[in-house]
Amino acid sequence: MNSIKPKKLKKGDTIGILAVSGRIKEYERIEKAADYLEKQGYKVVISNTCKTSHRYMAGNSDEECIKAFHNFFEDKNIDAILCARGGYGTLRLIDKINWKIIKNNPKIFAGYSDITTLLTMIYKKTGLITFHSAMANGDFGDEIDEYTVKSFFNTLQGKTKEYKAYNNVVLNKGKAKGILWGGNLSTLTALSGTNFVPDEDLILFLEDLNEPIYKIDKMLTQLFNVKEIAKNVKGIAFGEFKDIENIQMLEELEKEFVKEYNIPSCSGFRFTHNKTKDTIPVGIQAEFIANTGEIFISDEFVN
């Protein structure tokens, strides 16, 4: 696929905070995030969907979320879009999105968790490189983690060239090349049955939270029952599975799984729901070395 690189983030740019997933329970956090970003030298615009909700989702309706999503891409004054939070809701939107609007108005789009749906589908449908990153509500609207902030700005400014597992556990030795792709495991699994997998070699990165081991097993199995996943994934970089009940059992499962498919793999990366996290581009070529727990980005991912 011919990828589209967004413009790098620079001081003075306008960041749009967009809610299209779970409802915002404490709007004060969004205001705090906006204040923090403004103090770092950026302008901030907040979507109205940060103030409205229906059931457990942001916005008065799916249609309001789609309109806000389209408007933020079409607005020439907004340079980057930072999602407010995850939760649930993005799966309801993908059949309603006008992908031409995104392709014709490329810009930074960032978030994680349920936003994985949009990160991967935007790349699949348009080729636009997106970013698995910290978000407004839980990261910039709460206690600031300096590592997380540094990774966020360095990556969106195009300065990040490699990622290293902080606690490398080699699950299956080897090297692999492909595009960085993935995110939240349960969200990716929910996309099964849609046309969501790029026809390229993939370095799959995964994370999740509050999931029992048997469900992680089930979701990995379901994901790799998608023939394009089983064919295209050449390496797996496991991030953190937060609030897991048995780390040893998880490690056993991961080892068993990657050896069955003979995929180079290791765990211990800071792709996570925890406070300390890396921001990583989705859709850029990279080299993955399981033995040392390293990912090297092969190309520029912002202009």
> Of these residues, 207, 211, 254, 294, which one is catalytic?
207
Q: Is 113 a catalytic residue?
A: yes
Q: Is 245 a catalytic residue?
A: no
CA dist., res. 80 & res. 69, Å (int): 12
Tokens at residue 272, please?
């996570």
> Of these residues, 133, 211, 254, 273, which one is catalytic?
273
Q: Is 54 a catalytic residue?
A: no
> Of these residues, 113, 133, 186, 267, which one is catalytic?
113
Catalytic residues: 113, 207, 273
